[in-house]
Structure 1
Amino acid sequence: MKIQRLGLWLFMATFMVTMQLSAQNKHEGPYSDKEAWNYAQNTVQRMSLEQKVGQMTQISLEFFLKTKDGQVIVPHVLDTPKLKEAIEQYHVGSILNVGGDAQTVENWRGIITEIQNIAMSQSLKVPILYGIDAIHGNNYTLGSVMFPQQIAMAASFNPDLIKRAGEVSAYETRASFIPWNFSPVLDLGRMPVWPRIWETFGEDPYLVSVMGDSIISGYQGNNMADKYHVAACLKHFMGYSMPLSGHDRTPAWIPERELREYFLPQFKSAIDHGALTVMVNSGEINGVPVHANHHILTDILKGELRFKGFAVSDWQDIEYLWQRHHVAKDNKDAVKIAVNAGIDMSMVPVDYSFSKDLLDLAKSGEVSEGRINDAVTRILYVKYKLGLFDRPIGNASDYSLFGGKEHQQLNYDVASECVTLLKNKNNILPLKKGIKILVTGPAANTMRSLNGGWARVWQGTTSDETEKDKNTILEALQQRLGNQVLYAPGTEFDSSTKEGIQAAVDQANSADLILFCGGESSYTETPGNINDLTISSPQIQLVKALAKTGKPMVMVLTEGRPRIVSAIEPFMQGIIDALYPGNQGGNVIADILLGKINPSGKLPYTYPRFTNALANYYHKYTESKEFDINGGYDPQWEFGYGLSYTTFDYSDLQLSSTVVSDNRPLQISVTVKNTGDRKGKETVLVYASDLVASITPEVKRLRAFKKVELQPGGSQTLHFTLSKKDLSFINNDLKRVTEPGDFTLEVGGLKQSFVVQ
């Protein structure tokens, strides 16, 4: 037995060394499309039907983890026989997820190494493609940077900064030897009740496209096969974010013209920029589940967009075709419908039902082997582009920057531009030196309200423990101001007591200013469904009680969606919306309040004033106050709104011509001046309005933006170019057209007119 164990140890050691050496000597990419596609096709020709079906199967990690007394062992330990069965017998091609709590980077490396060692010991040597939701940093690895969530990143209007955040996220994900990131979300955040708004880049298709392309560029780099980049995954193709009820995974009704006008462009742009995987919308559109929609998944995605990569289902969504949607009679019927519609990989996630049923369907001819070959070729193509055939595992010594000061500093810099100043009556902010502050409210002393969901665990419920070395808002202020800071929580998000509110009021009497920290705790997906967008009643009760003290009040909102605050906004002299600013959020918020940072965020969505008035900024003319006096468009704050501690003046808006044609784009220039007494950053937003069109035009649409930094008294002339196509829309024939006619251009309150020929 000792000799056998020694032989096994020598075999494993030799195998590991061989893999490491071969990884150093093999081609390091980038791999051309032709090279990758040819390799994938040749490999498919050598595969059995069972091996092909296995490549289309994705299983969640918890299925392979050892347990004790029904609980997963922590730190995670793989059940090797069960893992071998998956790879050797079922030929599983992909694994995902964390299997519970976040793990150390060292434990992740051990898990991925064991998985890949087994996969690469098989005859075909096809590596496993491991995927994870590293949506604001590698959040399932302890000690990694957790950036602001996407909605906060969008508020920065700084695509270059977001690209750098994407690079760090990719670096730290690869540090765990994981090559595939289920990010970014390109769903359009225009339904504010929807619990996944915070995962989006906001309500504007152009902003989503620009920010999405930037973070994808950061994730994938020029060579996603290298050791510092990952494959992006576009979520969720498409129309997922507009359920009629606002509740997650409930029916949407979106005419195809609307789908193409607002929901498709950002996916097209991302695919044009090289994104190679998409995850499919879990819901249904117009009565057809998207996992069963051949028109969306094959005609549009793979045909019209010429998408070369593969489409993966979302969690268990093929099963849900019969369990929830009732468009299939059983699991085998659901698998047939989904694969024939265009699904290439099934996130099953914890059994082999998909593999078994697809194998039977292929043998019976109900799913053609040609469809299976296409799916597997796409999957292997992505694996090859990632360099996994040459380097299925990484080298720990390559990631010395993981979670370190350089990455944390970037996180602080990113968060610094993601916070929006919404109100500053009588310049109450930044706070005056020497004043005594009462910090109160349910978001004041919790990391959950800074990081949101997908933070170490799915719902972000453990942030106060896992991120205890980071600062909450209260802790950051206490570090900076010491005994000038008083604290009384006052209330929880969803419950309050008279005693708790009275304790806060009593403390307020000893303070010069009240800082109310409210909004939301962490949540994601269906557990985040709500029936009322209004900020919770206990928070309103606390604010109204505090207002009676007569002390000036400032509100800091940390939230994933725009919780309606019209009942308490009048009591506030200052309001800051930080959204979900990530692990450095407490420090950044404190430094904004104290004036070390000049806020430069702009709202990436329309902030509604009323629960039943949820129109977006690109509303139609019939939704305006002019035609609907009692209920027209009247938000609390408009998309793109955001104040600064300095002031900016716009002047000299110039157009190169008053006529735009196919060969004559519109050259635009405008001068912006910092007219205040401190350095500041300003986002210059360029809106265009089509005055008459065959499809009722929006009042205005964002067509370009740039962010500049100006010293006091400094000015800069910015230049933009709009082509005729940039002014286009989808007509009733589902064609993108730019119709001739009159337009107006608006920048910083300045307007100019022009004509499209």
Structure 2
Amino acid sequence: AYHDIDGVPCTASKTLLTDVLRGEWGFQGIVVSDYGAIHMLHNFHMIASDLRQAAVKALEAGVDVELPMAQCYLGPLLEALRNGLISEAVVDAAVSRVLRIKFLLGLFENPYVDVEEASRVFDTVQDRDLALRAARESIVLLKNDGVLPLSKSIESIAVVGPNAAEARSLLGDYSYTAHLSLEKPAVEVVSILEGVKAKVSAETEVYYAQGCGISDCSKAGFKEALEVAGRSRVIIAVMGERSGLSKFDVSGEGRDRDDISLPGVQGELLEALLELGKPVVLILVNGRPLTLSRIVDKCAAVVEAWLPGEEGGKAVADVLFGDYNPSGRLPVTFPRSSGQIPLYSAMKPSSIRNYVFTEVKPLFPFGHGLSYTEFEYSSLKVSPERVEPGGEVSVSCNVKNVGCLKGDEVVQVYVRDEYASVARPAKELKGFKKISLEPGEVKRVSFIISTDQLAFYDDQMRLVVEPGFFKVMVGRSSEDIRLTGRFEVVGWREVSANTRRLFSSAAVE
């Protein structure tokens, strides 16, 4: 990796790559540098005076292969070897590890690629089915004033925005197609506009206008966008970011932003669409949380599609028109403004009580996500009420679908240490489970939480479980808590970081 730990770049860390990785963890494979990371020991971290020294530091640390090309591991390394700056034994060890992996992979017997076999397993029907399922299940319904799901026989729809017809925007920056900037499309990608058109009836008029680009400042397309929106019953605004590695991309590796509002003039276009007084469904295509506090209350619905991939357009349309009941939950927190960052559910209590012009609470909390049906929580049981510091706690409750549609619910369990020797987070996620419920159906969900999950580093830097009371919170998100309980740990125990249990188990009856 590019970063350093305690001042030592990872690429030059013998402690990390040899002592821990190979010694403690027993890793027997090869270590490959990040892209240009060995060279960066010289020109970025500046711990190597030249490329020879960079090569020596990396190889002695345990880096076997240089990526993407041998800037340091050919000429500079050979020169270092001739000048006695590194021993042949170190070089031989790296070479032997590489040859061993090649042997295990059968590359000495058959070093060639079967082109026909590669074609048979690339972008198969099974692949696309999985892509569709992944996209559907990851979509998060952030807001819905009742406009969704839309009728497939609706009279007219306007699909507007820079990500509406742009299939490339649905791909992440490290997907194959996005990585090569679509010079030659590798797979067919269904855009959101295509998904909408395929879903509605033959009588439905679907109007499209781009409106504006992702990040440019031109408003030349506003007129057309407002014109088609004015002719429609519902406006679907598809906005957000484009993820990639080029200068035109605003999300992805190395694409940091100091402001996370909608880029370019997208926000202005959205506000102009909202002023038409028609229902606006905002579809977000993005790789990070965005600040939407100025416009979210005016939108009839907000759908977080993320970077949904090759079947993204179909998945979004399935959600919009009710063929799939959304069940995704936010794995991050959406702040009200960039100034709230950092903001996350497991924060410790701070001196911030409020901001002058906004609230402390997030716009959309961690774990948030709506459904087209409703769920009711009841009958919480926490057992035992008193547990030894090496024991387990069972947390169970009933969940009932009280709506009219089949739906999936993600039951979430949070725990708070009420009083500890050091400041602890207000709540921490300790378990979650997705369940599927028919209308009127009830299921009981049980979690087994190990006391290992309650451990933290005390003021002596010991990983410990302390005695005391712990609050249990069960709900739909980190803020939407439906049931609360309590248990007590009745002893102290130091926990091994190597054998510590980090995850709870869950069962459904």
Matched ranges for 1:104-123 at <5 A: none
Residues in 2 aligned to 1:333 and 1:602: alpha-carbon distance in whole angstroms = 48
SS across alignment from 2:265: helix
* Amino acid across the alignment from 2:309: G
1:755 correspondence with 2:488: yes
Q: CA deviation at 1:697?
A: 0.8
Q: Of residues 213, 222, 226 in structure 2, which corresponds to 1:505?
A: 226
Report if aligned partners of 1:501, 1:542 keep a CA contact under 8 Å in 2: yes
Q: CA deviation at 1:383?
A: 3.9
Report if aligned partners of 1:623, 1:633 keep a CA contact under 8 Å in 2: no
1:300 correspondence with 2:27: no
* Amino acid across the alignment from 1:476: G
Percentage of pairs with the same residue: 34
Q: Of residues 39, 45, 48 in structure 2, which corresponds to 1:319?
A: 39
Task: Render the CA deviation track for 1:458-499: whole Å, top value 9, x for unaligned.
Answer: 646328x61684321111111222542111111111235444
Residues in 2 aligned to 1:536 and 1:456: alpha-carbon distance in whole angstroms = 25
Report if aligned partners of 1:494, 1:538 keep a CA contact under 8 Å in 2: yes
The residue aligned with 2:451 is: 724
The residue aligned with 2:374 is: 647
Q: Of residues 319, 324, 327 in structure 2, which corresponds to 1:592?
A: 319
1:569 correspondence with 2:296: yes
The residue aligned with 2:472 is: 745
* Amino acid across the alignment from 2:337: F
Report if aligned partners of 1:521, 1:559 keep a CA contact under 8 Å in 2: yes
Q: CA deviation at 1:381?
A: 4.7
The residue aligned with 2:350 is: 622
Report if aligned partners of 1:437, 1:512 keep a CA contact under 8 Å in 2: yes
SS across alignment from 1:592: helix
The residue aligned with 1:611 is: 338
1:484 correspondence with 2:205: yes
1:415 correspondence with 2:143: no
The residue aligned with 1:284 is: 4
The residue aligned with 2:478 is: none
Q: Of residues 538, 542, 552 in structure 1, which corresponds to 2:279?
A: 552
The residue aligned with 2:249 is: none
Residues in 2 aligned to 1:723 and 1:390: alpha-carbon distance in whole angstroms = 49
SS across alignment from 2:313: helix
> Does the C-alpha gap of structure 1 residues 460 and 516 become closer, same or farther in structure 2, counting only changes over 3 Å?
farther
Q: CA deviation at 1:508?
A: 1.7
> Does the C-alpha gap of structure 1 residues 337 and 543 become closer, same or farther in structure 2, counting only changes over 3 Å?
same
Residues in 2 aligned to 1:516 and 1:333: alpha-carbon distance in whole angstroms = 54
Q: CA deviation at 1:737?
A: 2.1
Q: Name which of structure 1's ranges 576-585 and 481-490 shifts more when overlaid on structure 2.
A: 481-490
Task: Render the CA deviation track for 1:121-159: whole Å, top value 9, x for unaligned.
Answer: xxxxxxxxxxxxxxxxxxxxxxxxxxxxxxxxxxxxxxx
Residues in 2 aligned to 1:650 and 1:629: alpha-carbon distance in whole angstroms = 36
Residues in 2 aligned to 1:568 and 1:469: alpha-carbon distance in whole angstroms = 33
Report if aligned partners of 1:660, 1:754 keep a CA contact under 8 Å in 2: yes
> Does the C-alpha gap of structure 1 residues 512 and 532 become closer, same or farther in structure 2, counting only changes over 3 Å?
same
Q: CA deviation at 1:385?
A: 4.8
Residues in 1 aligned to 2:18 and 2:223: alpha-carbon distance in whole angstroms = 61
* Amino acid across the alignment from 1:282: Y
> Does the C-alpha gap of structure 1 residues 443 and 307 become closer, same or farther in structure 2, counting only changes over 3 Å?
same
Residues in 2 aligned to 1:409 and 1:574: alpha-carbon distance in whole angstroms = 27
Residues in 1 aligned to 2:100 and 2:386: alpha-carbon distance in whole angstroms = 46
* Amino acid across the alignment from 1:508: A
> Does the C-alpha gap of structure 1 residues 499 and 336 become closer, same or farther in structure 2, counting only changes over 3 Å?
closer
Task: Render the CA deviation track for 1:376-416: whole Å, top value 9, x for unaligned.
Answer: 45444544554545654565676645322222122211211
Report if aligned partners of 1:443, 1:518 keep a CA contact under 8 Å in 2: yes
* Amino acid across the alignment from 1:484: E
* Amino acid across the alignment from 1:514: I
> Does the C-alpha gap of structure 1 residues 368 and 727 become closer, same or farther in structure 2, counting only changes over 3 Å?
farther
CA RMSD of aligned residues (A): 2.6
Task: Render the CA deviation track for 1:227-272: whole Å, top value 9, x for unaligned.
Answer: xxxxxxxxxxxxxxxxxxxxxxxxxxxxxxxxxxxxxxxxxxxxxx
Q: CA deviation at 1:607?
A: 1.2
Task: Render the CA deviation track for 1:352-386: whole Å, top value 9, x for unaligned.
Answer: 64133334444555434454454345444544554
1:449 correspondence with 2:169: yes
SS across alignment from 2:317: helix
> Does the C-alpha gap of structure 1 residues 395 and 350 become closer, same or farther in structure 2, counting only changes over 3 Å?
closer
SS across alignment from 2:31: strand
Residues in 2 aligned to 1:391 and 1:647: alpha-carbon distance in whole angstroms = 57
Considering fraction of residues, name the structure with more helix: 1
> Does the C-alpha gap of structure 1 residues 387 and 703 become closer, same or farther in structure 2, counting only changes over 3 Å?
farther
SS across alignment from 1:312: coil
TM-score computed with the length of structure 2 as normaliser: 0.85
1:581 correspondence with 2:308: yes
Task: Render the CA deviation track for 1:631-676: whole Å, top value 9, x for unaligned.
Answer: 7742111111101111111111212201222453112222211111
> Does the C-alpha gap of structure 1 residues 681 and 389 become closer, same or farther in structure 2, counting only changes over 3 Å?
farther
Residues in 2 aligned to 1:293 and 1:519: alpha-carbon distance in whole angstroms = 39
SS across alignment from 1:698: coil
Q: Of residues 424, 427, 430 in structure 2, which corresponds to 1:697?
A: 424
* Amino acid across the alignment from 1:336: V
Gaps spanning 5+ residues in structure 1: where? 1-280
Residues in 1 aligned to 2:162 and 2:17: alpha-carbon distance in whole angstroms = 43
SS across alignment from 1:528: coil
Matched ranges for 1:259-408 at <5 A: 281-347=1-67, 349-351=68-70, 353-362=72-81, 364-388=83-107, 392-393=111-112, 400-408=120-128
Q: Name which of structure 1's ranges 385-394 and 633-642 shifts more when overlaid on structure 2.
A: 385-394
> Does the C-alpha gap of structure 1 residues 451 and 376 become closer, same or farther in structure 2, counting only changes over 3 Å?
same
The residue aligned with 1:259 is: none
Residues in 2 aligned to 1:419 and 1:488: alpha-carbon distance in whole angstroms = 24
Residues in 1 aligned to 2:72 and 2:41: alpha-carbon distance in whole angstroms = 14
Report if aligned partners of 1:435, 1:513 keep a CA contact under 8 Å in 2: no
The residue aligned with 2:214 is: 493
* Amino acid across the alignment from 2:344: N
Q: Of residues 421, 428, 431 in structure 1, which corresponds to 2:150?
A: 431
1:661 correspondence with 2:388: yes
> Does the C-alpha gap of structure 1 residues 379 and 623 become closer, same or farther in structure 2, counting only changes over 3 Å?
farther
SS across alignment from 2:416: strand
> Does the C-alpha gap of structure 1 residues 407 and 653 become closer, same or farther in structure 2, counting only changes over 3 Å?
same
Residues in 2 aligned to 1:670 and 1:460: alpha-carbon distance in whole angstroms = 49
SS across alignment from 1:354: coil
Report if aligned partners of 1:448, 1:460 keep a CA contact under 8 Å in 2: no
Report if aligned partners of 2:413, 2:432 keep a CA contact under 8 Å in 1: yes
* Amino acid across the alignment from 2:149: P
Residues in 1 aligned to 2:459 and 2:112: alpha-carbon distance in whole angstroms = 51
Matched ranges for 1:94-105 at <5 A: none
Report if aligned partners of 1:310, 1:344 keep a CA contact under 8 Å in 2: yes
* Amino acid across the alignment from 1:461: S
Task: Render the CA deviation track for 1:156-195: whole Å, top value 9, x for unaligned.
Answer: xxxxxxxxxxxxxxxxxxxxxxxxxxxxxxxxxxxxxxxx
> Does the C-alpha gap of structure 1 residues 663 and 532 become closer, same or farther in structure 2, counting only changes over 3 Å?
closer
The residue aligned with 1:475 is: 194
* Amino acid across the alignment from 1:558: V
Report if aligned partners of 1:470, 1:584 keep a CA contact under 8 Å in 2: yes
> Does the C-alpha gap of structure 1 residues 607 and 380 become closer, same or farther in structure 2, counting only changes over 3 Å?
farther
The residue aligned with 2:501 is: none
How many residue pairs get aligned? The number is 473
SS across alignment from 1:696: coil
SS across alignment from 2:396: strand
Report if aligned partners of 1:439, 1:517 keep a CA contact under 8 Å in 2: yes
Residues in 2 aligned to 1:671 and 1:286: alpha-carbon distance in whole angstroms = 47
Report if aligned partners of 2:170, 2:312 keep a CA contact under 8 Å in 1: yes
Residues in 1 aligned to 2:426 and 2:59: alpha-carbon distance in whole angstroms = 42
* Amino acid across the alignment from 2:77: L
Report if aligned partners of 2:39, 2:54 keep a CA contact under 8 Å in 1: yes
